[in-house]
Amino acid sequence: MAKEFTVPPVVFPSGSGVNPSVGNINQRRVPTAPFQPSRPPSSSSALPFMSFDMGSATSSSVSLGGSISSSAATGSASFEDEEPLLDELGIHPDQIWYKTRSILNPLRVNSTAHKDSDLSGPIFLYLSLCLFQLLAGKIQFGVILGWIVVSSIFLYVVFNMLAGRNGNLDLHTCTSVVGYCMLPVVIFSAASLFIPQGTSVARYAVAGVFVVWATRACTNLMVALADGGEEHRGLISYACFLIYTLFSLLVIF
């Protein structure tokens, strides 16, 4: 025999609850954003009215466009006023060519062209020497760079020791002078590509001419650009002769 169970009647609250069988089925609760206070259903359906003025919008857009165009014009004008990239990097091709051309005359070197020292020209000559050595089958980039640094410091120390308190030669000027006077050695390195390897006497003779050329140019520039070196010209020329002889032997062998 089955046992009967009594089910209590379901009573809905009289406030917010609505009996789905008799109430408004279309009434739904509007979801709210997380962490936001709940709003009554009546306020969610009401949207605020915002007036829009076409005249003010047009004037604001015109003023905005005018500001943008003026800023663009200012930016283009400032871009045109900027210096070229080579000038910002301190590389002046005209100045490099003028200083290099002053070394081409071994009897008369223009010392006024080298008053403003720079390192862009010497770096170009060093790379040219390395390139000609590479064409000769010699990879000597590190060797040439190391010898250049040691040679510049050596000549700087020798000159200041000889000049004493009267010497005003700085390392930057000394490196610039040694680098620009490397032009005869660079020319010799290019010419040695066309000299046969067996004729050693001819190579030594040509190397001697270019070494004397570079020594004379470097000595005249060192004496003219710094004080206290006129009475020690012979010793300064001997130091320059050792430097460029070293580079010429690097080219020969």
Q: What residue type is assigned to position 65 of the chain? A: G
Domain ranges for the chain, please list them. Answer: 117-252
Mean pLDDT of the 182-195 span: 93
Minimal CA–CA distance to 159: which of 237, 216, 215?
A: 237
What is the residue whose two structure tokens read 């809905």? 12
**15-36 pLDDT, tens digit each:** 544 454 444 544 555 555 555 5
Q: What residue type is assigned to position 209 of the chain? A: V
Q: Supply 113's token pair.
A: 């062209």
The rounded distance, in Å, linking the Cα atoms of 19 and 13 is 9
**118-132 pLDDT, tens digit each:** 999 999 999 999 999
The rounded distance, in Å, linking the Cα atoms of 44 and 29 is 10
Put simply, whether the predicted model's pTM sits higher than 0.75 gets the answer: no
User: What pLDDT is attached to residue 44?
Assistant: 46
User: What pLDDT is attached to residue 134?
Assistant: 95
Are 90 and 118 spatial neighbours (Cβ–Cβ below 8 Å)? yes
Are 226 and 160 spatial neighbours (Cβ–Cβ below 8 Å)? no
What is the residue whose two structure tokens read 């290099």? 100
The rounded distance, in Å, linking the Cα atoms of 47 and 44 is 7
